Structure 1
């Protein structure tokens, strides 16, 4: 039995042994066939598609990059350049796709032999980065590190980035000596190391000498990526007195403002692009920036730049023609500075915060000049601040009485044929008498025209009591409707007082509105009366300009503006081809009749030309062309910021003048504000400025009154 079993097993083993070579042969044969097919396929590809594959390996890659263009120019209304671009030679650097840190280090050292950068100082971190860019220095510093700085507690190696950061901090904190060339090289290294791939940056674009340009030009072959180009910077050939209105442009180093970074990146800006950061430069950024040039950069397979070809040369920014006359602007600024300086030296403005003046075409809203001064009472320093006309608000006093009289006429509280009201002071219970500047009893009654001429506060309060239908008994009580403030403020708002004018500048404020109720929820009735003659809410100078322009032009509230047209400067740079002209925008028409308007205009004429002894601007009577206007004074206070807890308060006044000329056919509206004057030394400072503003404007424009 065992014999047969053993024999059977032997036969099975022999059969399996015989089958094994056949399986191997089949597998080897299959592999051979696959190899044969592969060789045939490779041969086929080599013969048929070989040249195509060779071209793929050798092919180049095209990338389109953008380049900066000159920013748009701003002109005055006579075509004079207010802000332009000054071309400067520049050393540029374009970063290739495969530039290494070692190459950047070598380029920086080489370039530092030919140029110096004296207007910047490298930081300790920049010096450390430059020092460690040398592989020998880096290896030497790593070797100095203790083991604890190179290995973690578990014995694993610390990451290379962590080691580098440790070394950078260590080297930065060490007081190492660097030569002038090394410091320049460190600045250059920082600039080119931070550049984006295939982007062009300015290594030096200020105070570049002819010698430096020549030296770099001679050695360009040794400086891969370095080139000689042209950059620009803003300049102000007609003075910078309105630079605060024109605004500023960021530097290439500062690049895009962090607050608006995402906004600008979404519009296709690069992080180091220069943009308008304030006022007109910012407001008209989309026009001023122009269209970037486009260049096609061709790179080889080894990432080396083969050629750069300009496919679109770009378009310089649009030119803006402003409404301002630069010569008139200079005169207004000079007059304001001169008169304000005399006010300061006399002691009248020692605690004043500044002075402001604005001139406007009342028929269109075009701003002809805008000037402002800021004054620090502590240091006595005065600086230009034309922007204060839109972002500083003051209680303007009686200058707003024209709007109050208009409200009384429009709402039929008074009529053109009967504007007479009693000139009786207001006696509120528990309060000082509310009256005018002149002695009680000077007038028994006044019409609106005379009330404007002598600047009667009493008239405006009596008008208000009738307008809002207040219940009043002298010394006993006064009761007003809850909407008393709303009634007066809506009327002032019609003239632009207390709300933004819409001027084409960012940063405008709407003014400051006083409280309507006390802490107990009671209406501040006395303040309603103060509001009626301009001694409560605060307005900006530009709102006052819109208000007086509305009276001057017959009732149209015109939107003020600074940019009158947009165009393109021709290739020779001496002419602007206009593409767009601003249209005057009437925001509202005052619903008065001609006879109602004449009441106000006649009153303002008499402010200057009247014969009443209490007239407030008779010193302007001789000014040609004939003027009309309104003065104003308002109480204000000065608190010493260095002693906020001090009980000493200085009582001051704001002095104001608004006016227009010529009286019969107004072409100019002006506002002058001197806040914070000594009440005992008010003088005629605002009138002095107003006189010069009118006379200078019409002399420059060669206007002769008939």
Structure 2
């Protein structure tokens, strides 16, 4: 018996000892072996870690006007448990439906949300209630107050189950303005497109944090340790664009977009002396504040200015012209046979817009009329493949410009054979981007320097205002000499100044000297044949010629009228934008001056003295002055001029130079001339005139009685004398356009639709 008791005591004691040993081991394991781990878990439970968000940097225009910034935003939250406790389900559903426009069935699902059989404590109302603005917040606050008043009357709790979580969101105060430049951030604040994505590392900043010890309710404990790491806000970015010029651009584009319903439009403006981008826009466009709108198509986000290539057509002739001038191959007074030309080794000719041509004309007239034949002779016969390709590359084609925008593309330009050399001379068979074209025309405007385009002016630290990065003018290379650039500009000015035959006449701006070039590229269908109902029309130019302040390119992809060209559609857009931008930029008109009392008066410049000058010298004098002119006769010197020297000239008025005695000259063909121009010529020839009808000269009858010549003019109104340009194929990524084709295919096109206001 005693032994059993002792045995039991021994067993119990041993068991207790074993338990004690196990307990000691467990305590040792928890407090020593895993002590640090458990300590960290405990600290984690009573430590609160609060993230301090960093504000995204502002984006402004060159004058400091805000284009993108962070603003307070509020997310609507519902608490199903509280809502059901107070019986506010129907009121909440109806009220939020009216304020946010969210579907009632979706709201009902949120209000009735459960987990493990219990109503959930909190749900965000997405997407309609996610990061709403101050207006919606005020409506929610008013609605919440109404619910609280209702609860007070019913003597229920004071919580409605409806609340707002304060956050921040990206806001674009001007809506669609400069959307393709800015891009956007998604609703989580992540950069998606445009400059927002391209310079995200500068804009996004670094979030901070705050750590502190707290009780079970999350309140900070007295005298508790706290670790504070401040947030560093994103850097502010100032762009080169001017929001006023940007508005001029987008406003002018909308008018044409509504009229011609094209697939897309692109306009870029720059200061040609620095290549700072003053404005850039595409249509269709989008609103970065509501990028998720179902009505927004994916193509609306595409920035054609840097991401699309297209076949330029006759705007590309500026390269051929500049190269020929630089190499001293271009003689504006030399004659050639217009109409058609054969490329070596081919049996099908390349044509001008008028297949029969205009007869023997000067190269300057060929530039004004945008004669394909003239440019084939300049590019293929005079410059040749190697020099033409050199100027194409030197002007920046076939390589990215390096502008600070995402997605820029470029296509290499090769000229494998004589046909490709000939057609490239007038802009066929080459693919370029709008930004490349603008950089090239700016090189002509600024004295021959190809510059790298920039859209970022400077980046500053918002905390101290210091500039951490600024953009300078970057010269890529000197393409042509300043003298050659000035001469090329004078010829391009004639394209606009000649109101009779200049293809760019619709870009003429009274009081400003404008240089430019039109372009029309006919698209090709799946069968590689030209589709004359579809084309890409464009205009590129700069002003004022004597001191360029703005260069502009306008591209309209497939206007709904197949009979219009770059001169009809794109040139007027250029005119509207530039005629607004130059006065805004403080550029005075050349025919205005301020009087002593501060009033502005219009001056009419006097016709210069040109008689007795050699024809070559007279023409050069007028080219330098940007005055349109026409030579009558084939003499070597100027015998008489109209208007006479010292006569005040009207804006855009042409000067006529008579080089032969009138009794030895035949009356030139005046068909197609305006009445004013016809009268000026006949006055110079000392002919009496009778006129029938109104409009433009359609017929003329010359009679000679007793040695006195008389001319009867018959006038008829005509449709817009705009024509469309050289039948080029096009290739536009993201927007349209088709494959290259051969010169023989080009020549087989329909007469009168194959080349244009060039």
One fold, TM greater than 0.5?
A: yes
Offset, 1:384: 6.9
1:460 aligns with 2:359: no
- Residue 236 of structure 1 aligns with which residue? 172
The answer as to whether partners of 1:407 and 1:491 remain within 8 angstroms in 2 is yes
The answer as to whether partners of 1:535 and 1:635 remain within 8 angstroms in 2 is no
- Residue 704 of structure 1 aligns with which residue? 588
Offset, 1:548: 0.9
Deviates more, 1:582-591 or 1:659-668: 582-591
Secondary structure of 1:371's partner? strand
- Residue 579 of structure 1 aligns with which residue? 467
Alpha carbons of structure 1 residues 33 and 582: separation in structure 2 relative to 1, 3 Å: closer
Whole-Å Cα distance in 2 between the matches of residues 289 and 229 of structure 1? Answer: 22
The answer as to whether partners of 1:401 and 1:534 remain within 8 angstroms in 2 is yes
Offset, 1:290: 2.6
- Residue 555 of structure 2 aligns with which residue? 673
Offset, 1:659: 1.0
1:593 aligns with 2:508: no
Whole-Å Cα distance in 1 between the matches of residues 265 and 494 of structure 2? Answer: 26
Alpha carbons of structure 1 residues 311 and 33: separation in structure 2 relative to 1, 3 Å: closer
5 Å-filtered alignment, 1:73-112, equals 73-90=58-75, 106=81
Secondary structure of 2:191's partner? coil
Offset, 1:215: 8.6
Secondary structure of 1:681's partner? coil
5 Å-filtered alignment, 1:244-263, equals 244-252=180-188
Which of residues 126, 129, 135 in structure 1 aligns to 2:117? Answer: 135
Whole-Å Cα distance in 2 between the matches of residues 29 and 386 of structure 1? Answer: 84
- Residue 268 of structure 2 aligns with which residue? 358
1:320 aligns with 2:206: no
- Residue 564 of structure 1 aligns with which residue? 457
Alpha carbons of structure 1 residues 656 and 684: separation in structure 2 relative to 1, 3 Å: same
Deviations 1:634-686 (A, max 9, x none): 2224x5xxxx8999944434322111112122111111122324453336222
Alpha carbons of structure 1 residues 555 and 217: separation in structure 2 relative to 1, 3 Å: farther
Offset, 1:67: 3.6
- Residue 278 of structure 1 aligns with which residue? 193
- Residue 320 of structure 2 aligns with which residue? 404
Unaligned runs of 5+ in 1: 1-21, 44-51, 94-103, 137-184, 195-201, 253-273, 470-483, 517-522, 571-575
Offset, 1:71: 2.8
Offset, 1:361: 0.9
Offset, 1:31: 11
Greater helix share, structure number: 1
Which of residues 485, 491, 501 in structure 1 aligns to 2:391? Answer: 491
Offset, 1:108: 8.0
Name the count of aligned residue pairs.
541
Deviations 1:508-535 (A, max 9, x none): 2325x6897xxxxxx5643332211112
The answer as to whether partners of 1:130 and 1:189 remain within 8 angstroms in 2 is no
Offset, 1:696: 0.7
1:691 aligns with 2:575: yes
5 Å-filtered alignment, 1:243-642, equals 243-252=179-188, 274-299=189-214, 305-307=218-220, 311-312=228-229, 314-341=231-258, 344=259, 349=260, 352-374=262-284, 387-408=303-324, 412=327, 414-415=328-329, 422-423=336-337, 425-428=340-343, 432-438=348-354, 440=356, 442=358, 444=360, 446-447=362-363, 449-466=364-381, 484=385, 488-510=388-410, 525-567=418-460, 577=465, 579-610=467-498, 613-637=500-524
Deviations 1:674-701 (A, max 9, x none): 2324453336222211111211111212
The answer as to whether partners of 2:235 and 2:460 remain within 8 angstroms in 1 is yes
TM-score by length of 2: 0.59
- Residue 631 of structure 2 aligns with which residue? none
The answer as to whether partners of 2:180 and 2:282 remain within 8 angstroms in 1 is no
Secondary structure of 2:185's partner? coil
Larger radius of gyration: 1
Secondary structure of 1:401's partner? helix
The answer as to whether partners of 1:395 and 1:539 remain within 8 angstroms in 2 is yes
Whole-Å Cα distance in 1 between the matches of residues 243 and 275 of structure 2? Answer: 17
Secondary structure of 1:442's partner? coil
Alpha carbons of structure 1 residues 664 and 458: separation in structure 2 relative to 1, 3 Å: same
- Residue 652 of structure 1 aligns with which residue? 534
Whole-Å Cα distance in 2 between the matches of residues 40 and 246 of structure 1? Answer: 67
Alpha carbons of structure 1 residues 362 and 108: separation in structure 2 relative to 1, 3 Å: farther
Whole-Å Cα distance in 1 between the matches of residues 361 and 480 of structure 2? Answer: 25
Whole-Å Cα distance in 1 between the matches of residues 26 and 184 of structure 2? Answer: 66
Alpha carbons of structure 1 residues 191 and 446: separation in structure 2 relative to 1, 3 Å: same
- Residue 97 of structure 1 aligns with which residue? none
Alpha carbons of structure 1 residues 690 and 204: separation in structure 2 relative to 1, 3 Å: closer
- Residue 701 of structure 2 aligns with which residue? none
Whole-Å Cα distance in 2 between the matches of residues 391 and 42 of structure 1? Answer: 68
Deviations 1:438-464 (A, max 9, x none): 5646354644x5543332222221233
- Residue 64 of structure 1 aligns with which residue? 49
Secondary structure of 1:464's partner? helix
Offset, 1:286: 1.9
Offset, 1:596: 2.7
Offset, 1:132: 5.6
Deviates more, 1:108-117 or 1:487-496: 108-117
The answer as to whether partners of 2:74 and 2:130 remain within 8 angstroms in 1 is no
TM-score by length of 1: 0.63
Alpha carbons of structure 1 residues 56 and 582: separation in structure 2 relative to 1, 3 Å: closer
Unaligned runs of 5+ in 2: 1-5, 28-35, 152-156, 286-294, 591-758
Whole-Å Cα distance in 2 between the matches of residues 577 and 56 of structure 1? Answer: 42
Whole-Å Cα distance in 2 between the matches of residues 87 and 651 of structure 1? Answer: 51
Q: Which has the higher contact order (CA 8 A, sep 6+)?
A: 1
Deviations 1:56-80 (A, max 9, x none): 9986643534243433322222222
Alpha carbons of structure 1 residues 316 and 126: separation in structure 2 relative to 1, 3 Å: farther
Whole-Å Cα distance in 1 between the matches of residues 76 and 239 of structure 2? Answer: 34
Secondary structure of 1:560's partner? coil
Offset, 1:211: 3.5
The answer as to whether partners of 1:559 and 1:584 remain within 8 angstroms in 2 is no
